Amino acid sequence: MDRTRRALAAGTVVVITGASSGIGRAVGLAFAHLGARLVLAARSAEALSQVARECTAAHPQAEAVAVPADVTDADAVTGLADTALARYGRVDVWVNAAGVGVLGRLDAVPPADVLRSWEVNVLGTLHGARAALRVMRGQGRGVLIDVSSVLGGAVTAPYTGAYAAAKAALVVLDEVMRQELIISGDHDVAVCTVLPAGVDTPFFQHAANHTGRRVRTLPAVATPERVARAVLHTAARPRARVVVGPGARLLPWARVLAPGLVRGLIRRLTEHRYLGAPGTVPVTTGTLYAPSGATAAVSGDRHAAARTAARRAFALAAAGAVGARFIATRSRTRVRTGSRTRVRTGSRTRVRTGSRTRGRTGSPTHVRIRPRARVGTGSPTLVRLRPRARVRIGSPTRVRMRPHIPARRLSRCR
């Protein structure tokens, strides 16, 4: 966060769509804590005004103006850019975070709902990108950040076809825009795609649901604040694609290495764990056609913070157990070659070499053998330890010294 503070100075001008709820609201508050000047857009005017007040109070230098707008209206989105230019003179960062969800079988979701979701998720983002690039090309710099999703951008799941297709389209659109900016020579204008995994937002409460099934539980989810921090880091140090959330980096690789296994696992989990029984909830259109209003919030009450803390505690406990096991194994390892002589190396490791001489670490001859290593030759090759020589053998090596090898044979190796 300190590096982000240095790179994003107070007074950075940021335009955020979908700022009344979820990730967009968390991003607005995160920028406000750095003293940014914000233009916030969403359909819920009352909720948006509340967010603007929270942002203004977050930092002495923070400013926020609420502009109610529907991103499907190209003229309204262009007005956001005009407001930022009229009030602050420039646009440094533009974040497209507006989005809606649709759950249901593709043959069961009404075409009007599919069209509406694509208008918000794809055309709304495209309107924002066009407005942002117009300003950023003119001023010679800027960062455009589009919030896509791992669902669609990297993996797929049943009952999310309309939503996943829209999020996959954003990945393609951003790649095309990056290529066009390189061709036009606008090297200081960056287009970035942020792909969150499951996030604890009111997404499922706001999504249109044509399955008739209640969303019972979710996979490991990230907090909206975690995604907001990723957006801030991306604005400070632009990267083409940024994945964020538990397992988000592993999912694309797992899909490449074992596509059938990943698809089967997601299919079974979605059908038997994440969704309840059919007929448990009525069919709804969610916030497709109406603003979120009083239900607008940052969190979706999925207890992401507590679940994240539990995952980290489990990981630390597991790491501690493995470390303790390793130390115990190392201190009790013995390497024997069949004689009564012992060479001690500071722990309980014992090396028996076949002579009657007893030595300790610090004596003329030093032998260091790592845990689970075995040294020795049972082959025609002989091993000879010279005075003051140190032998270090890694764990994959195994050498066995037969106790019946005469000392005179060793002398011939000199």
> Which residue in 405, 298, 335 sits closest to 51, CA to CA?
298
**What would the 3-class secondary structure string for 256-268 be?**
HHCHHHHHHHHHH
Cα–Cα distances (Å) from 310 to 220, 313, 318, in that order, read: 11, 5, 12
The pairing of beta strand 343-344 with beta strand 350-351: antiparallel
The pairing of beta strand 334-335 with beta strand 241-244: unpaired
Q: How many Å separate Cα 318 from the centre of its chain? A: 21
Catalytic residue flag (residue 163) = yes
Residues ≥6 apart with Cβ < 8 Å to 192? 143, 144, 145, 146, 174, 234, 238, 239, 240, 241, 242
Residues ≥6 apart with Cβ < 8 Å to 157? 151, 164, 266, 267, 270
Q: What three-state secondary structure class fits 98?
A: coil
3-state helix, strand, coil in the chain (%, to 5): 45, 15, 40
The DSSP element (H or E) to which 39 belongs, if any, is strand 37-42
Catalytic-labelled residue, pool 88, 159, 163, 274 = 163
Instruction: State the Cα–Cα distance between residues 307 and 219, nearest whole angstrom.
Output: 10
Residues ≥6 apart with Cβ < 8 Å to 94? 14, 15, 16, 128, 129, 131, 132, 136, 142, 143, 144, 145
Instruction: State the Cα–Cα distance between residues 248 and 243, nearest whole angstrom.
Output: 6
Q: Catalytic site residues?
A: 163
